[in-house]
Amino acid sequence: MDKLKSVLSGEESRREDRTILESVNEASTLGWGTRVKGFIACFVIGGVCAILGVCLLFLPRIGLILFIVFYTFGNICALGSTMFLMGPVKQLKRMCDKTRALATTIMITCLVLTLCAAFWWKNFGLALFFVILQVLSFSWYSLSYIPFVRFVILTLPLSYSIF
Better pLDDT: 5 or 120: 120
Better pLDDT: 21 or 140: 140
Q: What is the pLDDT of residue 163?
A: 52
Q: What is the pLDDT of residue 151?
A: 83
User: What confidence tens digit (pLDDT) does each residue in 16-73 have?
Assistant: 556 776 766 666 577 888 989 999 999 999 999 999 999 998 888 899 899 999 999 9
Burial class (CB in 10 A: 0-12, 13-18, 19+), 72: buried
Largest CA distance in the chain: 78
User: What confidence tens digit (pLDDT) does each residue in 67-118 have?
Assistant: 999 999 999 999 999 888 888 888 899 999 988 899 999 999 999 999 999 9
Q: For residues 111-138, give the mean pLDDT.
A: 92
Q: What is the pLDDT of residue 158?
A: 64
Q: For residues 128-139, give the mean pLDDT.
A: 93
Rounded Cα distance, 58 and 67, in Å: 9
Nearest-5° Cα angle at 155, 150 to 159: 145
